[in-house]
Amino acid sequence: MRISQLSAESGVPIPTIKYYLREGLLSQGEQTSATRAEYGPAHLRRLRLIRALLEVGRVPVAAIRKVIEAVEDERTDVHTMLGTAHYALASPPEPHAAGDEEWARARDDVDRLIAGLGWRVGPFAPGRDELAQTLVTLERLGMPATEADLLVYARTAMDLARDHEMGKIPFDGPRDVAVETLVICTVMYGKALDVFRRLAQESESARILEA
Amino acid sequence: MRISQLSAESGVPIPTIKYYLREGLLSQGEQTSATRAEYGPAHLRRLRLIRALLEVGRVPVAAIRKVIEAVEDERTDVHTMLGTAHYALASPPEPHAAGDEEWARARDDVDRLIAGLGWRVGPFAPGRDELAQTLVTLERLGMPATEADLLVYARTAMDLARDHEMGKIPFDGPRDVAVETLVICTVMYGKALDVFRRLAQESESARILEA
């Protein structure tokens, strides 16, 4: 298909497609004449992935480039490829000073918790720092989290991941579709879960207070 | 205590405290001389609540004013007071045009789902619109949510709210402490749950792909 049709099918405006081509996020089409290039289904899939990362995951373009590199390099195994997407979705805190004891203790607590759960999580997973930051904030606000509190959320998350979420990823299809599915499911069902929590709390508040 | 001590105890800078006083978010201290006012524990509690809404909940000042009004007006029952905080934490989408059929269908689906769950949720809870927006986005991305998918997240949210979250709210203490606890727990454990989901997915990915 021509670039105009690629734009119509993907919903991405032509100037944006040209920007992705210049940035190398999208590979060039097959040049069929001096002014005309031909695009195929792989380009459509790639555009969907870029949109999912940008619009759904709010991933910055520099981080999208890393994800795309992992998708394109077939020597990158699927687990590592999905990991680049997971890590791109994180919003880790600013680096902490080496002497910040409160922070160091929280980070140790997180590492011990994850090890205790037996989870296979990389030592540099940004979620470790994000979780430590959450613990520091709760402590600073005078509502420190207990290990029992954290385990409730950890086990709830694992039940969802194991029984409902990872089964949705089409591991055997094109690599960019697997990454796109992971990003959309992680972000959008994360949003749904957040909203459901507030609605459930409202409902429980009505029940408890007999309002 | 004097304003300097109130600042030291709360960690809120004096100019910020003066701004809250001017804005009426914090009540004036007891004037003990022309240049000196005395503040008490109620002021400290109020500052903690404002910080929780601002820094943890990222609630805009105009919305914080509404929450504070509900806290101060003793005729507002506790359920309604907590509801103002819940609604202030929402980020509902832009209003949709009346003729937007995709949106109207999604909003109907949400209302039917909540009714089917038997949840006691107000008809104007912004979570209804937030959830409808999530459904529209998933549909537009070619990954429509099924009712079975949504029920998994709804039930998970209710288990958390009923068994772990609402029990943490000190309903019998000062009204601002109840709201502060709700805001901090909802936002910070929401963040923790989001991070745990990504970590659990990474661990499951390692297990499934034997990486």
- In Å, how far is B38's CA from the nearest CA of chain A? 24
Asked if A86 contacts B202 with a C-beta cutoff of 8 angstroms, the reply is: yes
Q: Closest Cα to residue B128, out of A207, A54, A165, A202?
A: A202
Residues, chain B:
211
B131: three-class secondary structure by DSSP: helix
Inspect the interface and report whether the beta carbons of B157 and A200 lie closer than 8 Å.
Answer: yes
Say which of A90, A171, A200 has its CB closest to residue B158.
Answer: A200
> What does the block give as tokens for B205?
């990915």
The most confident of A148-157, A164-173, B135-144, by mean pLDDT: A148-157
Q: Closest Cα to residue A84, out of A62, A72, A66, A59?
A: A66
For chain A, the three-class secondary structure string (H helix, E strand, C coil) is: CCHHHHHHHHCCCHHHHHHHHHHCCCCCCEEEECCEEECCHHHHHHHHHHHHHHHHCCCCHHHHHHHHHHHHCCCCCHHHHHHHHHHHHCCCCCCCCCCCHHHHHHHHHHHHHHHHHCCCCCCCCHHHHHHHHHHHHHHHCCCCCCHHHHHHHHHHHHHHHHHHHHHHCCCCCCHHHHHHHHHHHHHHHHHHHHHHHHHHHHHHHHHHCCC
CA–CA separation, A24 and A136 (whole Å): 40
Inspect the interface and report whether the beta carbons of B166 and A201 lie closer than 8 Å.
Answer: yes
Per-residue pLDDT tens digits for B111-170: 999 999 999 999 999 999 999 999 999 998 889 999 999 999 999 999 999 999 999 999
Average pLDDT for residues B81-99, to the nearest whole number? 85
Q: How confident is the model at residue B99 (pLDDT cuts 50, 70, 90)?
A: confident
Say which of B82, B152, B202 has its CB closest to residue A86.
Answer: B202
Average pLDDT for residues A150-166, to the nearest whole number? 97
Asked if A153 contacts B189 with a C-beta cutoff of 8 angstroms, the reply is: yes
For chain B, what is the largest distance between any 2 Cα atoms, rounded to a whole number of angstroms? 73
CA–CA separation, A190 and B38 (whole Å): 46
Which positions in chain B touch A78 (Cβ < 8 Å)? Answer: 209, 211
- What residues form DSSP beta bridges with B31? B37
Asked if A103 contacts A137 with a C-beta cutoff of 8 angstroms, the reply is: no
Tell whether the model's pLDDT for residue B25 goes beyond 80.
yes
Which positions in chain B touch A190 (Cβ < 8 Å)? Answer: 194, 197
B142: three-class secondary structure by DSSP: coil
What part of A 38-97 touches B (C-beta under 8 Å)? Answer: 48, 51-52, 56, 77-80, 82-83, 86, 89-90
Average pLDDT for residues A188-197, to the nearest whole number? 95
Backbone angles phi, psi at B38, to 5 degrees: -110, 135
Alpha-carbon distances of A155 from A32, A150, B160, B185, rounded to whole Å: 55, 9, 11, 18
Asked if A166 contacts B197 with a C-beta cutoff of 8 angstroms, the reply is: no
Q: How many Cβ atoms from other residues are within 10 Å of residue A179's Cβ?
A: 25
ipTM: 0.91
CA–CA separation, B124 and B13 (whole Å): 37
> By CA distance, what is A171's nearest residue in B?
B209
- Give me the pLDDT at residue A119, please: 98
> By CA distance, what is B89's nearest residue in A?
A198
- Give me the pLDDT at residue A56, please: 80
Q: How confident is the model at residue A211 (pLDDT cuts 50, 70, 90)?
A: low
% of chain A at pLDDT higher than 70: 100
